[in-house]
Chains A and B, each alone.
Chain A
Amino acid sequence: MSSETKQILTTDGIPLEVSLKKAEKKNKIKAFLLVAPLLLFLVITYIFPIGDMFMRSVDDRMVTNMLPKTFKAMEKWENLEELPPEEVYRGFYEDYKVLVEKQEHGKLGQRLNKEKNGFNTITKRLFRQIKRNKIDESISIKEQINKIHKRWRNVEFWLAIKRTAPPYTMAKYLKGMDMYVASDGSIAQVDEDRRIHRILWLRTLEIAFFVTLFSFFMGYPIAHLLATLPMKYSNLLMICVLLPFWTSLLVRTASWMILLQQQGVVNDFFVMIGLVGDDNRPEMMYNKVGTYVAMTQILLPFMVLPLYSVMKTISPSLMRAGKSLGGTPFVAFWKVYFPLTIPGIGAGCLLVFILAIGYYITPALVGGASGTLISNQIAFHMKTTLDWSFASAMGLMLLTGVLVIYWIYNKLVGVDNIKLG
């Protein structure tokens, strides 16, 4: 190879690179057209919804749009220790009058009440004054409003309105971590007896971790057996591993309910062999035990399959070589076989952990109160409280968590080492 890069020409005198690009252009277009439907699908069903979810989770434009004049006037409110100037009162009054005409004043009251308790009462009072045309626009609005209720004379309430001014808010994310923005603008913790989300996050991580661990310890020997048994038996075993895949998730979970309930098959068996008394049947469902058992069983194939595909490629002569060179069977396993299965372990664990962290149906059905996960909380806000922005925020926090785990994994093991099959 010559050190200087001389342009190579084809016999026609066209530079080789140009010629090559021309020749490959058609193939590139063909290849792109082939994947175009998939790309479109991904954009529509994946990237767009995530973007929408993010917008929803930070969106706080409702008040911003309702009170445009107020916030414009508030820019001139400099001394925040004192009540705002007349312009702010006037702006608020005018905005509120528009809302009354549009019959949207109730929404504002509720929203402001969330920001600071007691708002609902005083906005209703203001509404009544406006309805009765008691407010004279030619004199100071500030004094008239301050007379309606003593809370209007409290600067805290005006500060609360000011806090709702930015069109975007992180409040939902803080709420997901049991925190909120206090009236002085600092971030504070929710009272101890009202912290539910942090417990759920920790429980989700704990259950995902242990489910991954159980799946690993159960899946590793199965995968090894699958990879080493003669074809005849390994096919049968493979079907046994895959059988749960072919059954509906709901049916599988329901069958665990039949097995694990207090009058269920497992408990009956324990009583029959005299392990427990009939009046003392252990609770194996509607708690963590149920979630662990059912989720491990359901996620086991996701551990077995990557492990199997990696183990299949490991030549049995490597273990033999390890032994013939003087390693005990354990040493040969630990020094030779095990390191070679790490790509499969990584893939399996990552897969199971990520699936477990967002699991929903199974914990909802067998988890009970102590076995529910963060995804159940998300579903609760989606379906019951209809607080979609909070559900979106928690969904995104979950997604971020998964990405962080993926990043850590990449740092520790390297994604290139993953082998899914």
Chain B
Amino acid sequence: MSKNPEFVKFDKVDKSYDGKVLVVKDLQLDIAEGEFITMLGPSGSGKTTCLMMLAGFETPTHGEILLDGNIISNIPPHKRGIGMVFQNYALFPHMTVYENLAFPLRVRKVAKDEIDKKVDKALSMVSLNGFETRMPAQLSGGQQQRVAVARALVFDPAVVLMDEPLGALDKNLRESMQYEIKHIHESIGVTVVYVTHDQSEALTMSNRIAVFNDGKVQQLSNPAELYEKPVNSFVAEFIGENNTFNGEIVDIDKDKCKVKLDNSEILANPISVKSKGEKTTVSLRPERALINPSEKMDNMFTGKIEEVIYHGDHTRVRLNLLGSSEFILKVPNSTSNLELKVSQDINIGWNSVDARALDPK
């Protein structure tokens, strides 16, 4: 089966609700067949609007959405054949689990024994066999969630949309559901468009992540690249933790630049800066800075410990470094670093390649 790299295509899509503010601006996004793509962003960034446009509950103000090469902007939702898992599950409270799952098949006039077979298969996929006669209110949150997933998949849709489906679950259940959904996706190869504001959810589940902010896709790449190589300071800030320094470029080379801070200078990796004199925000992941580095690193400074917070598997250390008291270090727990004490001075080092000079904040 050859995969269509443009199975779902947003082509220059704009969306405005009131004619004054654009909620989605000039969206250009291709989703490949069988891909698990996540739209990640803060609330109000336009990600849910994109999903609603794809589902057919909202119409684009401008531009087209294509599904498998066909323009679907004028097709009503019930003819799109797109499965959807809603934020609050949206299970029909007056129907049993079986009836909920049979609903999409019954409206498609599928034969009775075929329905039984498909419902059974879908339920076993989410390991809920034997729950057919229960009402949704008799199920726990996690079980309702699984029913919702099964219902969105039971009629073999080409695309499944998930709108923050795990938002209402507690942390442990959320994590196990993440793996479960990921495994279901891998086993049946359906195209999934997933919306969330939870970055760890996005990182663990997706093939690719589209980070939304202000109606625009800020970065579209796979989870590792997104985390390791954010292209702008919003993405760097939004995904994971980072330490930032605001400064000005004083010297720039091909893969190194010198950034002048308030009262010192650091070396960084020029990503979105081009010339001397530009303002920049340097982003550094906390785990990339080391205490008393054994090897030679091109950024070496001394800082004073302000706070030590024990997190079990690691310890977070807040330092006063280079004029900022918000510098965070993540230290894996081992016997060697148990002597970290407040107001102690320590040596910190990092490589300039990990310090990414991005657009100024």
Contacts and interface: CB of A to CB of B under 8 A. Distances in A.
B81 A326 contact: yes
Interface stretch (B27-35, B39-47, B89-97): B89-97
B76 A315 contact: no
B94 A321 contact: no
A326 B92 contact: no
B92 A331 contact: no
Interface residues of B, number: 28
A322 B57 contact: no
Interface string B56-83: 1100000000000000000011111111
A340 B90 CA distance: 13
Contacts of A336: 92
Contact of B108 (A315, A322, A326, A332): A326
Given A326-B108, A327-B107, A335-B103, A321 B78 contact: no
Interface string A338-375: 01100000000000000000000000000000000000
Scoring B78, B83, B88, B104 by chain A CB atoms within 10 A of each residue's CB, the highest score goes to B78
B86 interface: yes
Contacts of A327: 78, 103-104, 107
Nearest to B105: A326
A320 B152 CA distance: 12
Nearest to A337: B92
Contacts of B84: 320-321, 324-325
A325 B93 contact: no
Interface in A293-328: 315, 317-318, 320-328
A335 B107 CA distance: 10
A326 B107 CA distance: 6
Contacts of A335: 92, 103
Interface residues of A, number: 19
B216 interface: no
Given A323-B78, A326-B81, A340-B94, A317 B88 contact: yes
A317 B86 contact: yes
Contacts of B98: none
Interface string B265-284: 00000000000000000000
Chain A residues touching B, majority SS: helix
A317 B103 contact: no
B164 to A, nearest CB: 12
Contacts of A324: 55-57, 77-78, 80, 82-84, 161
B151 interface: yes
Contacts of A326: 78-79, 81, 104, 107-108, 155
Given A323-B78, A326-B107, A328-B78, A317 B87 contact: yes
A282 interface: no
A318 B90 contact: yes
Contacts of B77: 320, 323-324
Interface string B317-328: 000000000000
A325 B57 contact: no
Contacts of A421: none
A340 B135 CA distance: 14
Contact of B78 (A315, A318, A329): A329
A321 B108 contact: no
Contact of B90 (A320, A328, A329, A331): A320
A324 B51 CA distance: 12
Ranked 7 nearest A-B pairs via Cβ: A325-B104, A321-B90, A317-B90, A324-B84, A323-B77, A317-B86, A327-B107
21 contacts: A315-B90, A321-B86, A322-B103, A323-B56, A323-B57, A323-B77, A323-B78, A324-B56, A324-B57, A324-B77, A324-B78, A324-B80, A325-B83, A325-B103, A325-B152, A325-B155, A327-B78, A327-B103, A331-B107, A335-B92, A340-B94
Given A324-B83, A326-B81, A327-B107, 4 more contacts: A317-B86, A317-B88, A324-B57, A339-B94
